[in-house]
Amino acid sequence: MPAVTLPHLPVTIPHGAQLSQSLFHAIEYGSLVLGAFGGALAARRDRHYKYDFTGIVGLGLISGVGGGIARDVLLGDGPPLALQNPLYLTLSIFGAVLALFLGRVVGTRILTLVMVVDAAGLALFAVAGSTRALAYGLGFLPALLLGVITAVGGGSLRDVFSGKPPRIFGAGELYAIVAAATSLLFLLLLRIRVPVGEASAIATTAGFSMRILAVRFGWKTSAVDDLP
């Protein structure tokens, strides 16, 4: 019986699709502030655990830099960026402190603000994680995986430190799926040689929109026991 030859699927990204340092840092810095802001806001409105200043800022800091640290540890090239560049921690603390005081002003609109900030941070982190992987010459699938880890890692660590199971593992609103879709779209756009700046903007906007729509219309995943 003749051997069957499977079609070859290239895993590399075109050389011209490398992200510039300045654009990468712009995405990363924006992710840090939004991630820390969203994490601290979520902690501030938690009525079960009444956190003090240290708890809210600490959980915001974990939300901001946690995913990036997990990504950089997996890349294994020295200390994580968050520990090399003081601006990473500074921006995360700034976002957390801002949420600490802004949470009182927002009042009844805090849930909407948390949702919007969380959606923006999720999309930005996914793109930042994938671009960091590409900078190390990794292929399509590793870049996709690191995009998801960067996007959901901070929130998952925040949940663990809060004594809760990470929400990405439970049935509920689309979260990790949105991160995966955002990274996938970004990498596919690079594969067809869309300019990297445009690919970043398109993927971030799409991921943000998908997350907002999922919350707005109640798109949810089901527990395995609930499946037919």
pLDDT above 90 coverage of the chain, percent: 32
19 pLDDT higher than 60: no
Tokens at 168, concatenated: 């990405």
pLDDT given for residue 9 in this prediction? 31
d(CA 34, CA 204): 13
pLDDT given for residue 168 in this prediction? 82
- Per-residue pLDDT reduced to its tens digit, 132-182: 899 888 999 999 999 999 999 988 898 888 888 888 887 777 889 999 999
What's the mean pLDDT in 186-206?
93
pLDDT given for residue 124 in this prediction? 87
Structural domain boundaries in the chain: 19-220
Tokens at 136, concatenated: 């190390």
15 pLDDT higher than 50: no
pLDDT given for residue 141 in this prediction? 94
Tell the burial category of 32 from Cβ atoms under 10 Å away from its Cβ (0-12, 13-18, 19+).
Answer: buried
